[in-house]
Amino acid sequence: MKRLPLGKIPIEILNGTVLKLTGADSDQLVARPRAGLDFAAVRVGGKFMVASADPITGVSENVGAYAVGVSANDVATSGNRPQFAEVVILLPRGASASDLKRIALQVHGAAMKIGVTILGGHTEVAPGIDHPIIMATVFSLVDRFVTSGDAQEGDAIMMTKTAGLEGTAELAREYRFHTRVSASTLRRARRFVEQVDITKEAVASFGTGRVHAMHDCTEGGVLGAVFEMSLASGLGFMLEEAAVPVAPETREICDALSIDPLRLIGSGSLLLAVEPGAEAEVEGALRGVCKVTRIGSFVKDRRSVVGRDGSTRELKSAPQDELWRVLARRSGPR
């Protein structure tokens, strides 16, 4: 039997297993679990509860902050501020009380910065792991929301910030990969982690009333996020590779490692499905918050990428993230 790859489970396998086995049905469930969605939504009285959970497994530093931030970002793609969280901390054998305190401080700091209240969770030393694994479930009570599955044919695809932000920061910490990358580039790249929060841009974009759908660029990068967004919306897309903004630091690190920045995990960059002709209005709403760029459009069926040379290729499945591919090459412990 074929082994599963590192990273996200392939969508076709997910659809045939986990997403078929979702327990009891409920008439309160208004955004059902399916591939490409960032969160679920449940009707609670006159409001909706939007909720998302994620583990942090491929990051070696500041794992507590990442755990809160990544799940908070998923909730923010609803167009609302994250409010509450439950956090699970699994520590390897040999971990100390100071290790736990360090991670708890990371969780606390990230939650304070975003405005999230920690309600509880679970903490233990677990067998079978060699590094901490942190999982956060973040949720909010909201009046209205959009999902990544609400894009419409003809919508412009807009993207905030630059590609591969989270992956760039993580790879910059892996010094042995960068004999051809300058120390100053690595220093700047490590600070990309400061851009991972998307709350302000998500709320500001949603406030225009011109955004039909949003999706966070997590595992699989820009290409993975566009693919998942189109799948959830039942659409195709035309993405212009040359239009996707890539920071010089990301480009230099990716060139040194022979990887594609558009397939590199990119938490901190938000994809927007914007009503045709409303791009300038969304750009105005984000002025002073972050840069936003039009990178393509949603179309009826085909999922296509226009290369820098003008050639067009079809994206038939969500790509494996480049971070996993690079980490699989390395030798020795983390």
Structure tokens at 39: 């969160």
- pTM for this entry: 0.90
The total number of structural domains that make up the chain: 2
Q: Is there a single domain that holds both residue 177 and residue 241?
A: yes
Q: Is there a single domain that holds both residue 52 and residue 117?
A: yes
Q: Is there a single domain that holds both residue 279 and residue 169?
A: yes
Q: Determine the length of the chain.
A: 334
The predicted pLDDT at position 175 comes to: 63
CA nearest to 238, candidates 162, 317, 306, 159: 306
What CATH number does the domain containing 276 carry? 3.90.650.10
Instruction: List the domain range (segments joined by +) for residue 251.
Output: 156-329
Q: Is there a single domain that holds both residue 165 and residue 138?
A: no
Structure tokens at 71: 């799940």
For residues 73 and 114, is the Cβ–Cβ distance under 8 A?
no
For residues 32 and 40, is the Cβ–Cβ distance under 8 A?
yes
Within a domain: 150: no
Rounded average pLDDT over 21-40: 88
Collapsing DSSP states into helix, strand and coil, what is residue 86? strand
pLDDT score of 332 more than 50: no
Within a domain: 4: no
Kindly give the interhelix angle for 322-329 and 248-257, rounded to the nearest 10 degrees. Answer: 50
Say which amino acid occupies 45: G
Beta strands in the chain (DSSP E): 29-31, 40-44, 47-56, 84-91, 117-125, 133-142, 156-160, 211-216, 236-240, 270-274, 292-299, 303-306, 312-314
pLDDT above 70 coverage of the chain, percent:
96
Q: Which residue has the tokens 């909010």?
A: 140
pLDDT score of 333 more than 60: no
Within a domain: 272: yes
Q: Is there a single domain that holds both residue 205 and residue 321?
A: yes
Within a domain: 151: no
Rounded average pLDDT over 266-275: 96
